[in-house]
Amino acid sequence: MGLFSKVLDWIPGRDLGSMGKKDLAMDLGTANTLIYVKGKGIVLNEPSYIAINTQDNSIHAVGMEAKVMWGRAPRHIQVYRPIKDGVINDLEPAQLMIKHFINKALSRLGRILKPRIIICVPSGITQVEKKAVIDAAIQCGAGKVYLIEEPMAAAIGAGLAIDHPQGVMVVDIGGGTTDVAIISMGVPAVSDSKRVAGDEMDNAIVQYVRKNHHLMIGQLEAEEVKIRIGSAYPTEEGETCPVRGRDLVTGTPKEVVLTPAQVAQAIQDPLHQILEIIRDVLDRTTPELQSDIHREGIFLTGGGSLVKGMDRFIEEHISIPVTMAEDPLTSVVEGAGRALEEIHRFKKAFLT
């Protein structure tokens, strides 16, 4: 029994050996959706946004084009982030978005009848949430839908030995949620998902600028600041970043310049909440697994982990070594893709 027999144990249907050439893996994230096509790699990487024209219910824009309209759309355009906390929140916009992305991913590959799709889902997803994802994908033309838990996919992508009894800890700081899982014997032994991640850092920057500069800035502006100069440790070095918004006192447009130290201070609260999530999962773990993790370390992924110094921050506060994913924004879909690629090698293990 190899790695993939464990991973795929819970996947409905066992005819995986006949997976076709154009099968897909999809990471349907709160912030970004990525699609991997078997034999091709990642073919789509777009923000999980859709803009709908409410006058005729038509799609106005999807992905990056819809994201830039966030907070800027005219009255007849409604911009949605249909994935919340890693699961489908607004069913109809979610289906439209998924359908658009799948079609886009497949458009250059010729016509494919009912591709099979592996979708990455948060651990701890409920039956109802699972059904919503599966239904959405079927609606979008998927022949068959398989689900894989995100930390598991990330671990496979990193080549971690997840089928051993020794525990492996994966921390995924995404847009909406931070997901922490300890994987042992091919399944998550303990896991948790909390609503503190990249979005909360953006909110914290909005609040900081409001409180300290009496300036109201947008969510996307805050995100840009975080990506450009956000760091876990206050430092006076590095470039500064201007932000524009509305002065809360005079009501007029105003610009202030933020330093890396200010941004670091602004995001301290969500960063410490993320530490708490990790501590909490460790506390709920057996001493045996705890000692495995102290020895083997934490595997860190998700876009939120790209805040400068995040790995050192966790390492120092939790006293466990941290290894960063090679590319935290793609590691989950890469792992799901790798599972897709290597399924045939383990065909016999599935069928017996």
Binding site for ligand ADP (CB under 6 A): 29-32, 174-176, 198-199, 223, 226-227, 230, 302-304, 306-307, 329
Say how many Å lie between the first and final Cα of the chain, rounded. Answer: 10
Question: Can you give the length of the chain in residues?
Answer: 352
CB of 212 to ligand ADP, least distance (A): 21
44 vs 299: CA distance, rounded Å: 25
Report in angstroms how near the CB of residue 230 gets to Mg ion at its nearest.
18
| Residue whose CB is less far from ligand ADP, 150 or 292 | 150
Distance separating alpha carbons of residues 313 and 331, to the nearest angstrom = 21
Minimum Å gap between C-beta 70 and ligand ADP is 12
Tell me the closest approach of the beta carbon of residue 120 to ligand ADP, in angstroms. 9
Q: Which is nearer to ligand ADP, 167 or 175 (CB)?
A: 175
The DSSP letter of residue 252 is: S
What is the C-alpha separation between 174 and 284, in angstroms, rounded?
22
Nearer to ligand ADP, 44 or 329 (CB): 329
Q: Nearer to ligand ADP by C-beta: 201 or 282?
A: 201
Find the angle CA(38)-CA(44)-CA(49) to the nearest 5 degrees: 140
Residue 31, binding choice from ligand ADP, Mg ion, none, Cβ under 5 to 8 Å by partner class: ligand ADP
Question: Which among 235, 226, 283, 253 has a CA at the least distance from the CA of 31?
Answer: 226
CA distance 286 to 82: 37
Q: CB-wise, 29 or 82, nearer to ligand ADP?
A: 29
Q: Which is nearer to ligand ADP, 151 or 186 (CB)?
A: 151
> Residue 16 or 225: which CB sits closer to ligand ADP?
225
82 contacts which partner out of ligand ADP, Mg ion, none, CB within 5 to 8 A by kind? Answer: none
123-137: burial string, b at 16+ Cβ within 10 Å, e else: bebeeebeebbbebb
- Candidates 22-30, 39-47, 103-111, 275-283; binding stretch for Mg ion (CB under 5 A): 22-30
Answer for the pair 264, 234: CB distance below 8 angstroms, yes or no: yes
Q: Least separation, in Å, of the C-beta of 85 and Mg ion?
A: 11
Task: Choose which of 8, 29, 217, 313 interacts with Mg ion (CB under 5 A).
Answer: 29
63 binds, among ligand ADP, Mg ion, none (CB under 5 to 8 A by kind): none
CB hemisphere CA count around 264 (13 angstroms): 16
Among 169, 165, 160, 170, smallest CA distance to 184 is for 165
Task: Report what 179 binds from ligand ADP, Mg ion, none; CB cut-off 5-8 Å by kind.
Answer: none
CB atoms closer than 10 angstroms to residue 2: 13
Query: Least distance from C-beta 101 to ligand ADP, angstroms?
Result: 13
Residue 122 CA to residue 124 CA, distance in Å, equals 6
Planar angle of CA 150, 103, 219, nearest 5 degrees:
60
As measured in angstroms, the least distance from the Cβ of 176 to Mg ion is 9
CB-wise, 184 or 301, nearer to ligand ADP? 301
47 lies in the site for Mg ion, by CB under 5 A: no
State the nearest-atom distance from the C-beta of 328 to ligand ADP, in Å: 6
x/- letters, 154..193, toward Mg ion (CB under 5 A):
--------------------x-------------------
Q: Is the dihedral of CA 188, 270, 223, 248 positive or negative?
A: positive
Lookup result for tokens 């005819």? 15
Using Cβ positions, the residue closest to ligand ADP within the complex turns out to be 198
Which residues, listed in sequence order, are joined to residue 77 by a DSSP beta bridge? 53
Residues within the interface to Mg ion (CB under 5 A): 29, 174
